[in-house]
Structure 1
């Protein structure tokens, strides 16, 4: 059947390609989909067809006898050495995989798409994290507003990449049809406008888009300024020494983009992460003993190896060189440029930094024994021997300790033991992850109303309390001081975790630490602490971390 081309009204959502294999592309698109092609139109630089699919509804099995019928439109338009493809979402996903496997066609350069289409006010921004997964920082963000690029922070967002964006198009007399806001996913060379067009208008819009992109390329495409606060693309030659691989939940991908078998494999690998071994001079690594070699294929990086999971967009690889592999690209995070400024190094000589609490067989006994042991809880009782101090350790705790000074400064103190007492112990982000997560989660109690209500229900019958270092019964005096505080009084979130030593920290921050894998671990840790501090300052509090001098 001949497709009545003048009667179609597609949405303008296109993938922009470069290359000469027009016949190979159209052949793949026709052959790769499910269902029968029931209508077709072909001209010299145009192929359009409709595929009919019959499937049971998502809520019914095949035996129910119900059938949903859909008709999927595909348009392929050639203009010189460029090709524009408009097709349905599942076909887009298959096309992206096919583009990674051949060399005759390539996506339009992502940096040109960024330069041409994300220059105006940004209305929507989809960010994807390349940082090590942590409970105190989101894996991804979706921002919406009138100009969301102004909300970005290098501290908070330096370990994210812009997956997609929707921004105001330039207002120019030569852009008659491309007006308003346009969305783009640069890594997939995808561009969309939320409007339908007849076929003649559709082809004219495609021509305007190509002219706009070619003009931006001729002028020397530069990333928009706000994107420099995010992670930037990296060259494969800079990447070395993989140390961790994670697999995302397959449900983050569009429906239908994974087979049932591949989805089950992804779930299995996600729940049981594979063993990873990196190489000190290469981006290659082994995954459960099998070698994986990253290779540049067109404008993307392909992971060449035996596991089928490598062909999905679910894998993130972390490198000691400070880079990450995510969705076909290597990235360099910006976050390592910003050290955490609120370290406080204390002397723990005579204290067991590997032990958090006194040895006791019940929560009440822990409270009773604070002050007669060498644990970190005992150190807190000794160090905060002025003002009003209470222990809140136990189920539903606000923090391990809370302190109010004579100046009415409130401190919420969270305690975690070090993993080693060696004076040359390695930096470990994992040693801080749990306690930082707890501190951020409990920021809700910074509000005085929430805090007072919670503290009236202590976790044990006789909670430990002190005034100027002297044991007292109950919390009555502490609560009086809490009630006397006013909005301008300071609030601090204090994390006591002495695993990082000042000796090692100063070495890593000095000339001797340059290029050290340990420095990269410190960067990961301080990025996490900066993120947590920003959460605290947003509630008019501050974050301080107590570590060890030795």
Structure 2
């Protein structure tokens, strides 16, 4: 149906998204025009597939080839044209459509920038990443506090390591916020519409400490519910396929390299630790860039932001820096340089591993990029000042520094935000040190495996999309590699 009834000069395209639901990108959209194949954005629209289309197709009727505007919805096995004038005309058009469908058609491939649905799993390669993308995390709708906390915990605190499997049977070793839970078997049964995802714990870890064992049991119960939820997980395969929202897609990625800029030297800091260990007796605000709950010096990525990220040529820290870490955060950190008139939102996500030879991972970036794009509006100094003011009574509001010196509240940074001129510079920075210079070089010079090279293309597409979103609000976007 696709090759027979999708032609040129498209008049209407109905598209659905295969990306994670987010407030900054529509889940579906409709285009209207005269030749929409030239209107598709090869970067912004590649996470959409067309569910229906009206385009111009040459169909032979009565031996005479004529151009007809034909509508087609392959997923619903439906074709439509204009209303025939009478029964005889209806029979003639129906015969012409059936004959046309039965013929051989090469297909025009005018819409290759769009993702396309795939129903056959036989061409799908090995799974390399299972990603938790809860829609509740990125939604602006009313979501219960408990559900949002669960979403945050699994999106940021879960590690899902694939230990084996095929396209439809995957074994994943699961841990949540340091708790080893066991191995989860995920089984996918192909269906006509959304594919069925089922799961079961095949090997569980039970800690000898009864309290920890209880936490493990509770986490497994929650995990079994959400790790097979078609709206929560996406599975990436080394063949380029993606299973998301219960459907299998093969995106047509545009191989546009991402400009990574200058790499960061994170020696002395733990690239796989986002924030210092803390508890009620040792709250996070007291542990950042200080000592964690165990009395050890904080060497997390949070400490790197505070101690190293905003320094002048003499090595002195400058400007206002505040953390907004939490489930409803607008950024992990915001920095305001009142002299140069620059606002920077910093979003932090730890690498999956601290080994030097760690491989590229798209899943390590997806949630943090989604959060960063969702909160772009806070680069507006009015929104930023209001958000800082609204959260000034939260515990994290005391995590503020001015020229490297700890402050007791947000009053100074709020005043700095409100005093900015309208033409100040906006910057969005994502600190995710998963990709190293060595891995990037291996992928670029062809010495890496095909699967790793494909992941770099996928990651570049993700980051180029984020840059385009940032550019739309006049902001610079950066996501540096790690040396």
Number of matched pairs:
381
The counterpart of 2:437, out of the listed 502, 505, 516, is 502
SS at match of 1:163: strand
Shift of 1:222: 4.5
4+ residue runs over 4 A deviation: 133-140, 147-151, 168-176, 178-181, 186-189, 207-214, 232-239, 242-246, 275-279, 324-327, 329-332
Q: Which residue of 2 aligns with 1:446?
A: 379
Please say if 1:380 is aligned against 2:309: no
Alignment of 1:349-368 (within 5 A): 349-362=267-280, 365-368=283-286
Look up the match of 1:201. Answer: 89
Partner of 1:144: 31
Per the alignment, do residues 113 and 444 of structure 1 end up closer, same or farther by CA in structure 2, a change over 3 Å counting?
Answer: same
Matches within 5 A, 1:320-331: 320-323=238-241
Q: CA separation in 1, counterparts of 2:39 and 2:282? A: 47
Instruction: From the superposition, tell whether residues 456 and 546 of structure 1 become closer, same or farther in structure 2 (CA, over 3 Å).
Output: same
Equivalent position of 1:120 in the other structure: 9
TM-score, normalised relative to structure 2: 0.65
Change beyond 3 A, Cα 1:201–1:135: same
Seen in structure 2, the aligned counterparts of structure 1 residues 374 and 504 have a Cα distance that, compared at 3 Å, is: same
Contact kept, 8 Å, 2:341 with 2:425, in 1: the verdict is yes
Q: Which residue of 2 aligns with 1:35?
A: none
1:47-91 superposed Cα distances (whole Å, 9 cap, x missing partner): xxxxxxxxxxxxxxxxxxxxxxxxxxxxxxxxxxxxxxxxxxxxx
Pairwise CA distance, 1:423: 0.2
CA deviations on 1:231-290 (whole Å, 9 max, x unpaired) are 4699999753355799xxxxxxxxxxxxxxxxxxxxxxxxxx9x99556xxxxx55379x
TM-score by length of 1: 0.58
1:379 is displaced (CA, Å) by 0.8
Q: 1:449 to 1:180 in 2, by over 3 A?
A: farther
Matches of 1:315 and 1:189 in 2, distance apart? 18
Displacement of 1:165 in angstroms is 0.8
Q: Secondary structure in 2 aligned to 1:500?
A: coil
1:529 corresponds to: 463
Gap runs ≥5 in structure 2: 132-159, 172-186, 197-234, 291-297, 311-316
* CA distance in 2 between partners of 1:485 and 1:471 (Å): 22
Q: Contact 1:126–1:163 (CA<8 Å) still a contact in 2?
A: yes
SS in 1 for 2:49: strand
* Residue 143 (structure 1) shift: 1.6
RMSD of the TM alignment (CA)? 4.3
Query: In structure 2, do the counterparts of structure 1 residues 363 and 186 end up closer, same or farther at CA, with 3 Å as the change threshold?
Result: farther
One of 108, 113, 116 as aligned partner of 1:229: 113
Residue 417 of structure 2 aligns to a residue whose secondary structure is: helix
Corresponding residue number in structure 1 for 2:454: 520
Taking the aligned partners of 1:435 and 1:308, their CA distance within structure 2 comes to 27
Mapping of 1:66-215 within 5 angstroms?
110-115=2-7, 119-127=8-16, 129=18, 141-146=28-33, 148-167=36-55, 182-186=70-74, 190-193=78-81, 195=83, 198-207=86-95, 209=97
- Checking the alignment, whether the CA contact within 8 Å between 1:120 and 1:170 is kept in structure 2 is no
TM-aligned CA deviation for residue 344 of structure 1: 4.6
Which structure would you say has the larger Rg? 1
Cα offset, 1:326, TM superposition: 9.8
Secondary structure of 1:229's match? coil
Structure 1 residue 339: Cα displacement = 2.9
